Amino acid sequence: MTNSGPTCAALARARIPTTGWARRAGISLALALTALLSSASAALAADHFRLLAARARAALEHSDPWEGFSEFMRRAAEQQASDRALAEVMAVQPDVMREAAMNRADLHEAVAELVARAQAAGRLRADVVPEDVPMLMCGLGRATSAGAGGPAASCHRYLAIVLDGLRAPGATPLPGAGACDS
């Protein structure tokens, strides 16, 4: 399938009917649809992280480090909660999301700076590390995925709970990595 991906995408962009471009690529219709779906998922994930990186950089411009950090978290949560296609890719194709995220060094750098600034201001728990942020965002995204109903599925509600837990000084010391491993 690795060799058929670009061929499928190129043929699809040429607006050739799916059965036609699958035949031309020498693959089954099922494989062609899978390649097209993978390509679309990768593009969606890449666009999501591009937008998150831009939001993280914009949050760094905020004069109050905690407000910048909180605003980034809020905008990211809203983005995830409002996009059903993104929620599906996150749930069904986590490797696609992980790969797209790893390709955004600018996002990781901006998040690390947001964390450092909020900690230096004494507003974010000192034991939070930048790697905690994407895990929290994934949890929020999953809990409030587009299409979930009811007042308890509000991204703003869960984000308020998360932000209160992240606020300095923090009531309970955080366990180290692997704390749930037996």
Domains of the chain: 43-166 (1.10.357.10)
Q: What is the mean pLDDT of residues 80-96?
A: 82
Which pLDDT score, from 0 to 100, does residue 66 have?
Answer: 97
pTM for the full predicted model: 0.75
The gap from C-alpha 35 to its chain's centroid, in whole angstroms, comes to: 22
77-86, 99-108, 130-139, range with the lowest pLDDT: 77-86
Which pLDDT score, from 0 to 100, does residue 3 have?
Answer: 46
Hunting for tokens 């914009």 — which residue is that? 58
Q: What is the mean pLDDT of residues 139-144?
A: 75
Distance CA 100, CA 48 (A): 9
Which pLDDT score, from 0 to 100, does residue 176 have?
Answer: 75
Q: Give the three-class secondary structure for 182.
A: coil
pLDDT in tens, 42-59: 888 999 999 999 999 999
On average, the pLDDT of the chain sits at 80
